[in-house]
Structure formats: C-alpha cells, structure tokens
Amino acid sequence: MNTPLADRLRPESLDDIVGQKELLAPGRPLRKIIESGNIPNLIFYGPSGVGKTTLASYIARITNRSFKKLNGTTASTADIKEIVSSLNTFEGINGVLLYLDEIQYLNKKQQQTLLEFIENGSITLIASTTENPYFYIYNAILSRSTVFEFRPVEPDEILKAIDRAIRVLSDEKGKEIDFSDEAKAHICSACGGDVRKSLNAVELCVLAGDEGEVIRVDEELAKSLTQRSGARYDRDGDSHYDVISAYQKSMRGSDVDAALFYLARLVEAGDLISACRRLVVCACEDVGLAYPQIIPIVKSCVDIAMQVGFPEARIPLADAVIMVCLAPKSNSGVNAISAAQEDVRKGLGQVVPRQLQNVHADGEERDVKGQHYLYPHSYPNHWIDQQYLPDDVRDHRYYELGDNKTEQAYKAYWDKIKNS
C-alpha cells in the first residue's frame, strides 16, 4: 500500500511545517515549549488537514519517551489498558508519549482510564480534535492540558507545501514535472486551507498528467480534480455552526455580499434546512417590527425553496436574503419577550388579575361579586385603561419602541389615543 504523500513529506524541523505561524514562529509560546523538550499534556484543536497530526508526530520524534498512537474512532478500553500496562516494562521506563487522534470519540469512561497516569506524569498526552474540546473532552483531562487552536492554512503557506510535494514527486518518478502557476494557485485557493487535501490534489494531478517524459499539469486539470473540495463544511461539526452563525450575523449586519457568500456555502453543501431556518429567524428577530411585512414574504420564499428543492431553491433564498439585509432593523420584539421570560423564570406574576380570569361564578368567600372586566370595544377608539399585568409586575415594562418609522408610527397612534 502506498504511503500518502502528506506522510512522505513529514517535516524535519518546525520551520518545515507550513501555516500556524501564530503558534510556531520563533518566540511563540508553543514553539518555546517544544524546543524546551519538556512537553506537557497538549490538546490540538482545529479543522482537518492543518498540521495537528504533523506537529504531534514531530514532537514524538524528538522526545525520549516511548511513542504510542491511538485513534479515538477505533480505540477500545483494552487498547488504553495495554498502553498503561507498558509503563511497568523496560519500554516505558522513561514514560510514554501518547498521541490520541480524534479524542472526541472516546467516551467518558475511556478518557477517565487515562486520567490517573496523565496526572502523575507517567503518560504525556498529545490529543487532537476537530471539535471544540470544551464541549467534547472530559473536564478533568481538559484541566490538566493546554489547548492550542489550529486554523486553516493560508494559500501562500499551502504553496510552499505544494512546491515541496512537486519536488518529491519528481524525484520519485524520475521525471520533470511542469506544474503551471495557475494550477498551483487554483489548488491553493480551492482546498479550503486544508494542506492534506491540497497535497492529495497535487498527487492526483501528477498521476493524471503522467503521459510522457515530462508530466504536465495545467489549470484545467487541476480544476477537474479539485472542483468541489473548497467547501469546508461538516453538518455535525463546528464548521457547520460557524457558517450558519456567520450567515445570520451577516444578514443582521446588513452586509448583502457576505450573507450571499455564506448562503452559497450552504447551497453548495446542500443544507437547505439550515439556510431556510436561519433566514426565517433573522426576519423575525432582526428585522421584526421595523418592517413586519417581511415575515410572510420570507416565509413564502422559504416555502417555494422547500417545494422546488436545489438547485432552483437558491433563487428565492437569495431574493429573501437580500431583502432581509436591506430592510430596516429592530430587535425590540425579541428583547421584549426575553425580558418577560426573565420575570416568569423568577416566579413573578403567578396570579392573573381578577378581571382577566376565566370566571363563571363567584364563590361565597368573595365579598365583592363579579369579574368587572371592561370590554375595550365598548369604549371610544376601542380602548379603555385597566390593569392587565399581575399585581407584582404591574409596573414592569418589557417592550421598548424602536426608533424606526413603523414603530414610531405605532407610538404616535397610541400616544394620541391614550392621552385624548
């Protein structure tokens, strides 16, 4: 079985690692820790293909400890106990460095099995995860580890890895490789900051372009082999929530271009449900009473999108996103219900005012008979002043009028009625 190109290009020094300069540049804390040789428990958090495994493997090579590797997707409790048992052998005399990839897939019991040995220093843990460690990793392990976040690699850094890969492939094949600058640029931008994916694309291009003494790779070939690889998106992972969060926040911030970009990512990922749900929420929460007519309009666009499906669904969704971005904004509605909920959660307002209760008959214990509800339609302008809130919250105000044209029109109307 051929070793993947990414593994054949493992770096010989920290300077060979592309990207993550905020962690690994000279003088940065993580680099200083590694260079000290005194490796603490580490957790590397970030998307796939950005150097977590590469750096962990490098650290393992420069340590004197026995190196063990497990993957959380396949590791069992027996595998963990086998590593623990090696501590009592000659192999584990200097301790064990355990590289645990995808630690989020270990259950709590499996993580707890490691805890005692991590705590006393017998095992040094270097774990990697693509999910937020503060949600997925047992707190006791988390508190004994230092978390470093890895980010997608910038295109100019990926280019360094591509050039090195081309040199290695040329040596392996004994042929010149004519890899066009346009092809390199496309791979750099199309692979979503994923170095591993970029290297796989390079290797595929070289294999597909190998027809003579010189292997030629042009932009057309690169595009055909990296066509849909740039959308970093996992419906169950952090990337999913990052995209839909950015989608809604861009609409809230009235940035049409950004909102359309994140909608395009949802469309390319085929995530119709998230695109529709966040759009309706934004219409109600962020436009709301500033332009209430937009709510049924957006609902209609969403209904059309759900009915026709992709690819046509992108059209009514784009129309609705643009309308939400350009509409005036008000969050007075969501603020009002949040304030009211806060009082309810405090246990306030348990007794509904007598005049609003669904009373059919008065008990003998009541000195004052009758409900005394005032029917507003029986009074001028269909309004009469009476108490609606319970006694303990009767003076609380939850709704604050927004400064937009629609809500100010409401204010002018009710100021005239209530002061007449």
Q: Convert the pLDDT of each residue in 15-24 to its tens digit.
A: 888 888 888 8
The verdict on residue 230 lying in a domain is no
What is d(CA 168, CA 245) in angstroms, rounded to the nearest whole number? 41
Domain that holds residue 116: 20-149
The verdict on residue 331 lying in a domain is no
Residue 182 has pLDDT above 50, yes or no: yes
What is d(CA 379, CA 266) in angstroms, rounded to the nearest whole number? 53
- Say what the pLDDT of residue 1 is: 44
The verdict on residue 198 lying in a domain is yes
Query: Are both 112 and 129 inside the same structural domain?
Result: yes
Q: What is the number of helices (H) and of strands (E) in the chain?
A: 19, 7
The verdict on residue 264 lying in a domain is yes
Report which residue type is found at 248.
Q
Report which residue type is found at 3.
T
DSSP state string for 299-337: HHHHHHHHHH-TTTTHHHHHHHHHHHHHS----HHHHHH
- 227 secondary structure, DSSP code: T
Q: How many structural domains compose the chain?
A: 4
Query: What's the average model confidence in pLDDT over 105-134?
Result: 82
Query: Are both 50 and 86 inside the same structural domain?
Result: yes
Query: What's the average model confidence in pLDDT over 288-308?
Result: 93
Query: Are both 193 and 126 inside the same structural domain?
Result: no
Query: Are both 62 and 167 inside the same structural domain?
Result: no
Query: What's the average model confidence in pLDDT over 179-204?
Result: 86
Question: Which residues face 89 on adjacent strands?
Answer: none
Which residue in 278, 281, 194 sits closest to 233, CA to CA? 194
Helix (H) or strand (E) holding 67: strand 66-71
Label residue 332 left, alpha or beta by phi (over 0 means left) and psi (-120 to 50 means alpha). Answer: alpha
Report which residue type is found at 253.
G
Average pLDDT, the chain: 84
CATH number (domain holding residue 60): 3.40.50.300
Query: Are both 141 and 47 inside the same structural domain?
Result: yes
What is d(CA 201, CA 207) in angstroms, rounded to the nearest whole number? 10
Query: Are both 184 and 101 inside the same structural domain?
Result: no
Whether residue 219 contacts residue 186, with contact meaning beta carbons closer than 8 Å, is answered with: yes
3-state secondary structure of 98: strand
Query: Are both 142 and 162 inside the same structural domain?
Result: no
Q: φ, ψ for residue 301 (rounded to 5)?
A: -65, -40
pLDDT in tens, 406-416: 999 988 999 99
What is d(CA 228, CA 394) in angstroms, rounded to the nearest whole number? 59
Query: Are both 87 and 135 inside the same structural domain?
Result: yes
What is d(CA 186, CA 190) in angstroms, rounded to the nearest whole number? 6
Confidence of residue 139 (pLDDT cuts 50, 70, 90): confident
What is d(CA 64, CA 39) in angstroms, rounded to the nearest whole number? 11
Non-local (6+) Cβ contacts of 124 within 8 A are 39, 40, 41, 63, 65, 95, 96, 97, 98, 118
> CA triplet 258, 263, 265: central angle to 5 degrees?
100
Query: Are both 306 and 205 inside the same structural domain?
Result: no
Percentage, residues of the chain above pLDDT 90: 24
Label residue 35 left, alpha or beta by phi (over 0 means left) and psi (-120 to 50 means alpha). Answer: alpha
The verdict on residue 267 lying in a domain is yes
Query: Are both 248 and 189 inside the same structural domain?
Result: no
Which residue in 351, 358, 357, 359 sits closest to 394, CA to CA? 351
pLDDT in tens, 71-88: 888 888 888 888 877 776
CATH number (domain holding residue 302): 1.20.272.10
Of 112-116, 395-399, 403-407, the range with the lowest mean pLDDT is: 112-116
Of 33-42, 278-287, 325-334, the range with the lowest mean pLDDT is: 33-42
Query: Are both 55 and 116 inside the same structural domain?
Result: yes
Q: Of the residues 175, 203, 225, which one is the last residue of a structural domain?
A: 225
- Say what the pLDDT of residue 153 is: 83
Query: Are both 145 and 159 inside the same structural domain?
Result: no
What is d(CA 194, CA 19) in angstroms, rounded to the nearest whole number? 10
Which residue in 9, 11, 35 sits closest to 23, CA to CA? 35
Q: Of the residues 225, 256, 284, which one is the last residue of a structural domain?
A: 225
- Say what the pLDDT of residue 174 is: 87
Query: What's the average model confidence in pLDDT over 255-283?
Result: 90
Query: What's the average model confidence in pLDDT over 209-217?
Result: 82
The verdict on residue 179 lying in a domain is yes
Residue 230 has pLDDT above 70, yes or no: no
- Say what the pLDDT of residue 192 is: 73
Confidence of residue 190 (pLDDT cuts 50, 70, 90): confident
CATH number (domain holding residue 207): 1.10.8.60
